[in-house]
Structure 1
Amino acid sequence: MGELHYFLGIQVTKAKEGSLILSQEKYVGDLLAKAGMTGCKPCTTPLPSSIRLFAFGGPAFTDPRLYRSVVGSLQYLTITRPELSYCVSKVSQFLQHPLEEHWKLVKRVLRYVSGTSTYGLQLHRVKDMIVTAYSDSDWGGDPNDRKSTGAFCVFLGKNLISWSSKKQSVVARSSTEAEYRAMANLVAELLWIKHLLHELKIPLTKAPMIYCDNLSAVLLAANPILHSKSKHFETDLHFVRDHVNNKTIQVSHIPGSVQVADALTKALPSRSFLEFRSMLNITDAKLFFSKSNDKFTKTGTKRSIEDLESREHEEVCKEPTSKERKEED
């Protein structure tokens, strides 16, 4: 079958030192054409940092079916673009009754995607199988119901293998509670990853490390005293603490300036967003097109993908020859 180049809308580009870049340039082009945004002016961030989205209070969008279709397509794009997780999660909260203001923000996301269509997730060849995770939350960030957004990202060596940006189901009464709930969701994800690696016969040399920028949440994970302020999220408290005491999970504090999961909880200024995007291993695949030995050259990427798709279609639809019919008989 040869080397992998293109699969389910994801193109694979070889980079330096045996690494791969997973991108969706052709998929982005089709998405922009669907939304009528082909050739739009690009922007540096998917959402403005001062954004406040309200569920009501404006004119309804005239084509809610188009809104749902475009946002659904953006959700598939997050497979190779984790930095889009927060903005896509945010605009997905208004699928039932989208407003004109919501559609304007979707077009802002499409402008960012248009300018970074060749970007993708880079996977490195690594030997050190150490799991590192980052957990963060935006306390009361939703102006409609004051629920928090929890997020995490998990690295295996240098590779980002799992990430999430999700609105929490209950209102947190403190920033510590919001951070701890996000940490509990991350612990559950790490346990699943550990079991998966065990089934794949991949040993872990160290217990997974969780980095959190909320010092109170970090201290609460190791403190055996049950404070009165934590009784309203006691289940999550014991869940995380049991795994910390059993040394299956480690928790440590880091400053917010290097908290990479911050890009998955809120809209950031362009400088911070670009720094965290780089830390998430989002790279421009176009830089490696001309250096690659495969069919994906800088000038013929789109043509190569179309050739591969047409060839696959011809192999499926072609009529069998007389010799093949005799063999089948």
Structure 2
Amino acid sequence: MRQPPGFISTDHPQRVCRLHKSLYGLKQAPLCWNHTIDQVLVQANFTRVKSDYGIYVSHSSPPTYVALYVDDLLILSKSLTQIKSVQSLLSSKFQMKDLGPVTTFLGLNIRQTPQSVTLSFSSYLTSILQDFGLDTCNSVTTVSTTTEWISDHDVPLADPTLFRSMVGKLLFAANTDRPDITFTVVKLSRYFKQPSQNHLNIAKPVLRYLKGTINDGITYTHTSGVELKGFCDADWGGILEDRTSTTGYIFMLANGPISWKSKKQNSIATSTTEAEYMAMSDAVKELLWLKQLMKELSVLGSYVPILFGDNTSSISLAKHPTQHQRTKHIDIRYHFIRDHILKGDLQIEHVDSQSNIADLLTKQLVREKLNSLKKKMHFAKI
């Protein structure tokens, strides 16, 4: 954009035009667009969900939902008439292209049947394999088998661009549709600043694993009721550089995972119980957010979500203030779990270690254990 002819004054060469409208490409354009479409949807009796500002709901009968990601939208409803009504509204306000029933969205491949919805990332994974020249590589059956992430003999990469690009693209896959690679990829991301050749050697087998599982996806199936279940776990002192622990949690709905995370704990735990309790605290925070989101979407009902863990001591600590001498040093911010249990916001229950799906988010697993947990979360070849 340029100033109109004759505007520039020789007496005031530093003066510029003030723009009174949004212009595509300017830094404020995305916010202006969001304000505009928000006004349109609110005027059409949609309510913006406070738990996620990218979702709008119309509490009609049946309800209608709009999921917004910048200028890509999904319209969901059991009523085709209501979907057409929203399409007509948006078409009257904006230049819009109707792509029909959703088959792809933000890189996800989506397949719908009357009884299920399946999400896969095969198209995106194919593209990143091609980007790194691994589209014809031999596949492997595990994400990673390395036992040495850092050593005194590591040689920093002269140019870390390849590593950063590779891990960045893998992170998008891990956070979107591939919980099976999340632990390894998140751990690799800790070395963004100064990666070594060893770290690049660890990243490449992740792509080879994806080559062999490129058609794996998550299937959500019809259930008689809405049941939100979570699993949490911790690997005590597993990060050798500073002996911090790893938190992992995953939440299931309609028999498939909807939220998961693998993260390094902020402080050093002095026992397995403490590490597991800190992981449980993070999982409860996510559970409460998911519960509020589902409440705003009018899909939860009276069901009380359940969080499963495999450490009996941490579960006992959450339910009862036991072992005071051994646990009194734990930061008070973690004890909010008890308050929410007493309020009836959630339940904490035990699950055996072999069935704890969150295990794949805290450590590297052998092929048999990994495949077993993938099966439990309806993650398989489609």
CA distance in 1, matches of 2:334, 2:104: 44
CA contact (8 A) 1:52 1:143 kept: no
1:53 matched residue in structure 2: 149
The Cα shift of 1:228 comes to: 2.0
Give the C-alpha shift of residue 75 in structure 1. 0.8
Cα drift, residue 103 of structure 1: 0.5
- Equivalent position amino acid for 1:174 in 2: S
- 1:167-204 CA deviation, whole Å, 9 max, x = no partner? 11111111111100110011111111111111111233
Are 2:297 and 1:192 aligned? no
Mark the structure with the bigger radius of gyration.
Answer: 2
Q: Distance in 2 between matches of 1:189 and 1:59?
A: 38
Tell me by how many angstroms 1:118 deviates. Answer: 1.2
Look up the match of 2:88. none
**Cα gap change, 1:280 to 1:57, in 2 (>3 Å):** farther
Give the alignment of 1:272-311 within 5 angstroms. Answer: 272-285=369-382
CA distance in structure 1 between the partners assigned to 2:341 and 2:152 by the alignment? 43
Distance in 1, Cα, partners of 2:255 & 2:123? 27
Q: Tell me the CA shift for residue 107 of structure 1.
A: 0.5
Q: Which residue of 2 aligns with 1:67?
A: 163
Residue 212 (structure 2) pairs with residue 115 (structure 1): yes
Q: TM-score scaled to structure 1, two decimals? A: 0.82
Q: Which moved more, 1:60-69 or 1:262-271?
A: 60-69
Q: Does 1:5 align with 2:103?
A: yes
Counterpart among 343, 346, 350 of residue 249 in structure 1: 346
2: CA distance between counterparts of 1:215 and 1:66? 44
Please state if 1:215 is matched with 2:312: yes
2:156 partner amino acid: A
Q: Cα 1:232–1:52, aligned 2, differ >3 Å: closer, same or farther?
A: farther
- Relative to structure 1, is the Cα distance of residues 75 and 217 closer, same or farther in structure 2, using a 3 angstrom cutoff? same
Conserved 8 A contact 2:219-2:255: no
SS in 1 for 2:234: strand
CA distance in 1, matches of 2:101, 2:190: 39
Taking the TM superposition and a 5 Å limit, the aligned residue runs for 1:27-176 are: 27-48=124-145, 51-54=147-150, 57-78=153-174, 79-176=176-273
Which of 318, 325, 337 pairs up with 1:228?
A: 325
Residue aligning to 2:20:
none
| In 1: Cα distance, 2:214 partner to 2:322 partner | 50
TM-score (norm 2): 0.71
Offset from partner CA, 1:12-60 (integer Å, 9 cap, x none): 1245x53122112121121112222121110111011x62311753112
For residue 125 of structure 1, report the CA deviation from its aligned partner. Answer: 2.5
Q: Determine the structure 1 residue equivalent to 2:357.
A: 260
Instruction: Name the CA distance, whole Å, in 1 between partners of 2:341 and 2:148.
Output: 37
For residues 132 and 225 of structure 1, what CA distance do their matches in structure 2 show?
A: 26
- State the secondary structure of the residue aligned to 2:268: coil
Q: Distance in 1 between matches of 2:376 and 2:277?
A: 23
Tell me the matched-pair count: 283
Deviation at 1:237, TM superposition (A): 4.1
Query: In the TM superposition, what whole-angstrom CA distance separates every residue of 1:238-261 from its partner, at most 9, and x where no partner exists?
Result: 211111122211111121111111
1:55–1:144 CA contact under 8 A, matched in 2: no
Return the structure number with greater helix share. 1
Task: Show structure 1 runs of 5+ residues with no match.
Answer: 286-329
- Aligned counterpart for 1:21 among listed residues 89, 97, 118: 118
> Which amino acid is the alignment partner of residue 369 of structure 2?
S
Counting aligned pairs with the same residue, the percent is: 33
Shift of 1:10: 1.3
CA spacing shift, 1:55–1:65, aligned 2, 3 Å = farther
Alignment partners' CA distance in 2, 1:226 and 1:216: 9
Higher fraction of strand: 2
Change (3 A) 1:114 1:62: farther
How big is the alpha-carbon RMSD for the aligned residues of Structure 1 and Structure 2? 1.6
Q: CA deviation at 1:234?
A: 3.5
Aligned-pair distance for 1:280?
Answer: 2.2
**Structure 1 residues 185 and 131 mapped into 2: Cα distance closer, same or farther (>3 Å)?**
same
CA–CA separation in structure 2 for the residues paired with 1:254 and 1:33:
41
Higher relative contact order (CA 8 A, sep 6+): 1
Structure 1 runs (4+) greater than 3 angstroms displaced: none
